Amino acid sequence: MPRGEFEDPRLVEVHDAENLWGWEDDFFMAALAERSAPRVLDFGCGTGRLAIAMAAAGHEVTGVDPARAALDAARRKPGAERVCWLPGSVEVLPARAYDTVLMTGHVAQRFDDREWPAVLRALRRSLDRGGRLIFDSRDPAGRHWARWISPDPRRTVTLPGGETVTAWTEATSPAAGVVSYAGHYQFLDGTELTSDTTLRFRSEPELRRSVEAAGFDVDRVYGGWAREPVGLSEDGELIVLAVVRPEPRTA
């Protein structure tokens, strides 16, 4: 039976083997350091790579994710005891509790158009005055799905214990900015697991409009991890930095 990639311990192990520290993590650490942000929320923290690094850098970090297997893996990592791990999603967020909310690894694309405005409003409520929202979303102009659709050669992933897993991806063509893909994973004991993911690709104007409608001012949007303008990076990203809009003063 197909399962979510972050809900199966074996797939979580494969995910971690394929997703080591990268440029994007350096970008988020540097963006976080631009302003004072003692209290940080990592929304959709997955297996906690960035949350643990931010806690080690001295921030008070909360990691929220609905996937139990991902959080279990996060809790087992060195330094995990410095992070407050909360299973769940927007429903577990306290009000005005954070100075910065990060949403990394394209978590934003996992919300459909019905969910997205409510998620943004909930993140806005969880931020204190002047708080920042920082997230990434793949630029539809970068056509990332073309790499997933093309007959993908099977790749071999080596797990920390030495076991190898054969993995491949099948994606559908985008329709109305939505791409679905299946990840297939074949283990040496004969087990084959499949994960299904659906991603929404929003354009820069769509992202700006939705973020502003939720009560933020968009500060900057970058197109790549070296802070290139939108459309000028092979990364094909839309990296949004937004600030909670000040509430109008009452007389």
Ligand X SMILES: C[S@@+](CC[C@H](N)C(=O)[O-])C[C@H]1O[C@@H](n2cnc3c(N)ncnc32)[C@H](O)[C@@H]1O
Residues that bind ligand X (CB under 6 A): 6, 19, 43-46, 49-50, 65-67, 70, 89, 104-107, 110
- Say whether 76 sits in a helix, a strand or coil: coil
Minimal distance, residue 47 CB to ligand X, in Å: 7
Minimal distance, residue 59 CB to ligand X, in Å: 15
Our CB check for ligand X shows the closer of 91 and 247 to be 91
- Say whether 134 sits in a helix, a strand or coil: strand
Our CB check for ligand X shows the closer of 147 and 245 to be 147
Our CB check for ligand X shows the closer of 5 and 249 to be 5
Our CB check for ligand X shows the closer of 13 and 65 to be 65
Minimal distance, residue 102 CB to ligand X, in Å: 8
Please state, in angstroms and as integers, the Cα–Cα distance from residue 115 to each residue in 89, 172, 247, following that order.
12, 22, 24
d(CA 240, CA 238): 6
- Sheet with 155-158, side-by-side order of all strands: 155-158, 164-171, 178-187, 192-200
Q: Tokens standing for 212?
A: 């502003």
Minimal distance, residue 22 CB to ligand X, in Å: 9
d(CA 46, CA 14): 13
Our CB check for ligand X shows the closer of 50 and 55 to be 50
Q: Say if residue 52 is exposed, middle or buried (CB neighbours under 10 Å; 0-12, 13-18, 19+).
A: buried
